[in-house]
Copies of this chain bind each other. A is one copy, B any other.
């Protein structure tokens, strides 16, 4: 049953960069929020010797701090989505009407380290999501799954990217397909596999789901996380978990070159972390119908990687930081010049008011990062993970 007011929202991956701010944001807005996490991400950080820019307390400590600061409670469940009994018990005991699912290994480079990391990523993400679908089928068939996908599922086709579906006219007949996907890493492939499995759950079991095919997220903080240092989110600047703009800002602050990969003509969709939260909130207020998989392309602006690098350099200059751009060898196998035009109107239609990327926003990120500059480990800005043992064996097309 979907309620009109506050909902019972289960946030999977609630200890993460997006999951933790989402949990705070939703609890502040009157929803009853539970988070589930197995702290796998903290294990990957230890494995790779990387750390978030800001010190992050335990989830228990963050929940206690949030209660102190906001008066809002967040319920905590610790366990692994790949273990069905855990998923089943959380869904049964909490009884969510909305499940916001961030609970996956989120890094393309991590998935490309070697065969072990690749199979781990595919197993972790695909089987965890499949368990969630079964738990919904059997214990919460009316709940709404809000699943974080990625714009990277689409790749860079030579036609416009639509929001989730593509109507094809062929030999005088017509059919609407899930938009065909050509992703660029074994991590991105897990999101494609998830999309197909979720589509099946909707078609065959009558589940309701919305996929948020998210662009690259940037931002150091949200209104909630900024209220107390103990509420910080796990902002990464390393090659594995740091996204382009976040990494570039840290490079500028510590006086390292800004390193777009390859020629830098790779165009992607981007959005502010504050907009991620707003999009999730709009999505849960507008659930998909039973049997429907809705798909939104969740980003606000398109930039090339070179554009981004120049924006950071220019904003840094205004703060008196002289940053230089050095194109690094591309560790990925991908087109570096390509057509890119991705539709993203559905969330705007629901009322999203984007926080666009202007110089002032980048300056505020740079200033915030400056306070933690001594924590930056420069050796983690470029870590040498490669898409293929010898590069350029394929075309990447």
User: What residues of chain A have their CB less than 8 Å away from a CB belonging to chain B?
Assistant: 84, 114-116, 118-119, 122-123, 126-127, 130-131, 134, 137-138, 141, 157-160, 166, 168-171, 173-175, 177-186, 189, 192-193, 196-197, 199-200, 202-206, 291, 333, 339, 387-389, 393-397
Contact = CB atoms under 8 A, between A and B. Distances in A.
6 contacts: A115-B131, A122-B127, A160-B170, A180-B180, A189-B193, A203-B394
B127 A205 contact: no
How many copies the complex holds: the figure is 2
Contacts of A192: 193, 196
A387 to B, nearest CB: 6
A180 B177 contact: yes
Nearest to A190: B193
Contact of A134 (B118, B204, B393, B394): B118
A189 B182 contact: no
Nearest to A119: B127
A119 B84 CA distance: 9
B183 A200 contact: yes
A394 B119 contact: no
Given A170-B159, A199-B182, A202-B394, A127 B123 contact: yes
Contacts of A395: 203, 291
A130 B122 contact: yes
